[in-house]
Every structure is written in structure tokens, then in C-alpha cells.
Structure 1
Amino acid sequence: MSERRRRMAAYAVVLRHEEILLTRYVGVDEKHWTMPGGGVEFGEHPHDTVVRELAEETGFEIAVEGLLGVDSIVWTTPEGRPLHTVRLYYAARIVGGELRHEVGGSSDLAAWFPLAEVGRLDRSSTVESALRFHAERPASGHLAFDEPQERVILGA
């Protein structure tokens, strides 16, 4: 049986003038747009993670305005291992810094996209979840999905 692992990640939903801030993930054989944020380090609070990750990936300093919700997915890594990922989504606003791209990290670009154009991007399921959490603001912090959530890259 393959080793089963868990990962917790925290993401920021930053909107301005009908635009959303995204970062481009760069993997071994893939690139896609995703929400700015990333893995919670051992002993780190997810709130601190999202502030740290935003600064690393985009150059922006943020103020976290609230927890939008939490989703949970199980998927299979390229190496064939099952991975359970718990993702926390925070509403945030920019309070300082300037847009810049991450160097030497898991992303290579940061950019603002009009909300109307997001559906045409190659993007991770984190973007879909983030937009739904922002729009629906479920009191339970949980989104209902018609199908089980999997790690998928969505594109036009």
C-alpha cells in the first residue's frame, strides 16, 4: 500500500476592481494559475502562512480580513501516492508592497486577472474554490460539490 500523507495549505483571495490576484505554479512538467498561498510549515499558524506566502510569491503585504472557508481533497501525486490536502481560504486586502514575481520558488509569475477572464485560464481547482467561497460565504465554511473534489487543472 502506498504511503498516505496529509498537507495543509492556506490561500488568500485578493480582489480589486473586478480583478483577482493569481500566481502561476511551476511544477516539473506543468504550469498553471493558482491562488497565492501555500503549505503550512510545521508549528506555523495558517494565518501566518498566508501572510508569508503572499509576500514571497507576489511582493505584497496583506491584511487578512477573515476566514472564508476550508475544503478538503484527496488526490494522487505524480509518483502515485495518495495525498489528502486541507486548504484554508482567507479574504485579504493589500496594505503595502509592489507586485513582483517569485524567484526560485514554486511559482514564477504573479498577475491580476479580470474575473471575467479567469474561466479561460489553465488553473487549479483552488481558483474555483476560492471564487465560490468569496461569492457564497457559507456560514459553515464548507462548500457543497456535486462530485468529489480532485486535484484538477481546469482550462478552456
Structure 2
Amino acid sequence: MSFRLAAYGVCLDGGRVLLARYVSPVGDGSWWTLPGGQVEFGEDPVDAVVRELEEETGLVGVVEELLGVDSRVIPAHEAKRGVPHQNVGVFYGVRVVGGVMRPEANGETAEAVWTPVAEISELDRSAVVDVGVGLVTQRPASGHLPPVVVGGLVRH
């Protein structure tokens, strides 16, 4: 089994959310996700989401609130490494305060775009997009949503 703690930023601007297009390094395509990624050993998740936002998009952000936490186990037959994988994602509401949007230098994020929330369901995307947008729009008191169903345009 493998485990990953990740921090994701939900950046809103009016009716739009900031998405990053991830390009798989193993050649299995590209899809949209939220800016964010792995929390490094010893790193605070708040610092991780701000670091990842800048690395992936060139934008500088300030964490305004904790939106919630999502935990999912990906079965071995669906996981990239062929072993069961648990991803725990911490989702933050982040306000962009500066920077210049650009692709990630020497990374896996090809571009970042402000996308109307109403158009998200039409995109090939990571489940974290649905979780983050669900947390910011539904505001569950528990900070937790029912699991997002993976399939069709939604992937792990």
C-alpha cells in the first residue's frame, strides 16, 4: 500500500475556478486538476498549497480558509503503481494576490486557466476538482463530502 498527503487550492474569481492541466509523465494523457500536490515531510499543508500554486501556475496565493478533507483509497487494479493507494487531500480556499500565470517550469503542469464552474462537468478531470468545487459551493459543516464517483470524465 502507498500513502500520499496532498494540499489543494480552490481559487475562485467570480464564477470561475483556477484549474491546472496535468500531463502524465508516463504518457497516459492529460487532465484538469486543482493547483496543489504532495505535502513534503516536515512541511505544513498551508505552506504546501501556497508553494504548489506558485510552482504550477506562477501565481501567488494566500490561504483564506480550510474547506475540508477528502480521503480515498484507490484499489490496486486502478492505482498507477499496481498497489492499493490512499490519498488524503486537504482543501483550502486560496485568494490569488499576485504573480503571472505560466506553465510549470520543468514540471507536469502544462497550463493553468480560469474556468467557469458551470463548464467543469464537461472536462476530463481529476476527482479532486469535483471535491474542491463541492466543498466551496456546498460548505458542509463537517468539511466532508460523499465520495466522488470515478468514471467517464472523472479519474483518480
TM over 0.5, yes or no? yes
Give 5+ residue unaligned stretches, structure 1.
none
Aligned length: 149
Aligned positions of 1:6-155 closer than 5 A: 6-27=3-24, 28=26, 29-75=28-74, 76=76, 77-145=79-147, 149=148, 154=153
Residue 120 of structure 1 deviates from its aligned partner by: 0.8
TM-score, normalised to structure 2's length? Answer: 0.89
Superposed CA RMSD in Å reads 1.5
SS at match of 1:52: helix
Query: What is the rounded CA distance, in whole Å, between the counterparts of 2:151 and 2:126 in structure 1?
Result: 6
- Amino acid in structure 2 at the alignment position of 1:17: G
The residue type paired with residue 35 of structure 1 is: L
Given the alignment of the two structures, is residue 5 of structure 1 paired with residue 2 of structure 2, yes or no? yes
What SS does structure 1 have at the residue aligned with 2:95?
strand
Q: Secondary structure at the match of 2:82?
A: coil
State the alpha-carbon separation in 2 of the partners of residues 153 and 87 from structure 1. 22
TM-score by length of 1: 0.89
- The CA deviation string for residues 81-116 of structure 1, in whole angstroms up to 9 with x for no partner, is 111000010001111111111121121111111112
| C-alpha distance after superposition, 1:6-35 (max 9, x if no partner) | 100000000112111000111121210001
Residues 153, 39 of structure 1: alpha-carbon distance in 2 compared, 3 angstrom cutoff: farther
Specify whether residues 124 and 16 from structure 1 end up closer, same or farther in structure 2 by C-alpha distance, changes over 3 A only. same
Q: In 2, are the aligned partners of 1:34 and 1:126 still within 8 Å (CA)?
A: yes
CA distance in 2, matches of 1:60, 1:153: 30
